[in-house]
Amino acid sequence: MSLRDIHTPVLLERCAELLAPALEPAGAVFVDATLGMGGHSEALLERFPRARLIGLDRDTDALRIAGERLARFGDRVTLVHTVYDGIADAVTSAGVDRVDGILFDLGVSSLQLDVADRGFAYSQDAPLDMRMDQSSGTTAADVIATYSEGELRRIFERYGEEKLSGRYARAIIDARTREPIERSGRLVEILVAATPYAAQRAGHPAKRVFQALRIEVNRELVVLERAIPAALSLLAVGGRIVVLSYQSLEDRLVKRALAQATASTAPAGLPVELPEHAPRFRLLVKGAELASPEEIARNPRATPVRLRAAERVRESA
């Protein structure tokens, strides 16, 4: 199967529509901060033939695949191996000061979900890895083996919003005293056994725990909290940012960052807003946009998506 068959970019048409005013002029530069297999970027390069891409990803497999996919665009493409909070350094290293468009497609990619030995999917038995960059860092097996009961409970509560976090943490600690927990299948067995029957009917017991482990291993929320302000600072006037989030914790961080960027900085009680206090950005969509039922039918991975977007309207004071 081709990449077009196995990877359907989420909300592609809406992303292109929102970015179009910024990417149509000659010389426009856009950053795909979560390149993945390059589906969004390929479409944007085709649609805006005078635009140049700086594509970022921490996953070396994704960069290799995207590089092959985008090779036909030649010197219009610059790929950088980095986590997306390194966006400022990546743009500078590409010889650019300001950019016109930025896209974040957050969460785990199709490549990571579909390759069983990456350990992201609780539905497939694999080594407990979950690193987006397999060249370095702590694995999910390391977290399971070394974190205390309190630490496990904390990440399950904070990053998985799991109501049974204490029960699951105790079960893991108990199980690892007998043998190492190194595979996703074994972890799923432990979680299922620790879940009351009534709770199992509310969804798979491993879903939130696996999400929490993935976020912890890749420091996703810590990185995102730095990345969005850094990205906003790179946008030229008229530049646009589009962010696709897939779980509430991500979306809250994005919402808060855009709210701050689009708020007036005028002191309370000032009778007239001075120009230097005017918002630097304006929101392009009201609230968070969802995928249509038609798109979800075509691409079920679009089901949880939340899209937010903004445009820079003036320079900082």
**Residue 88, burial from CB neighbour count under 10 angstroms (0-12, 13-18, 19+):** middle
CA distance 103 to 241: 6
Q: Is the CB of residue 9 less than 8 Å from the CB of residue 40? A: yes
Residue 242: φ, ψ to 5°: -125, 130
CA distance 257 to 228: 7
Ramachandran assignment for 78, one of left (phi > 0), alpha (psi -120 to 50 degrees), beta (any other): beta
CA distance 93 to 306: 31
Closest CA to 245 of 287, 284, 205: 287
Closest CA to 105 of 32, 18, 22: 32
| 7 has binding-site annotation | no
| 159 has binding-site annotation | no
| 39 has binding-site annotation | yes
| 114 has binding-site annotation | no
| 57 has binding-site annotation | yes
Q: How far is CA 14 from CA 3, 21, 274, in A?
A: 21, 13, 34
- What are the tokens at 123? 């539905």
| 84 has binding-site annotation | yes
Q: Which residue has the tokens 């919402």?
A: 255
**Annotated binding residues, as ranges?**
38-40, 57, 84, 105, 112
**Annotated binding residues for S-adenosyl-L-methionine, as ranges?**
38-40, 57, 84, 105, 112
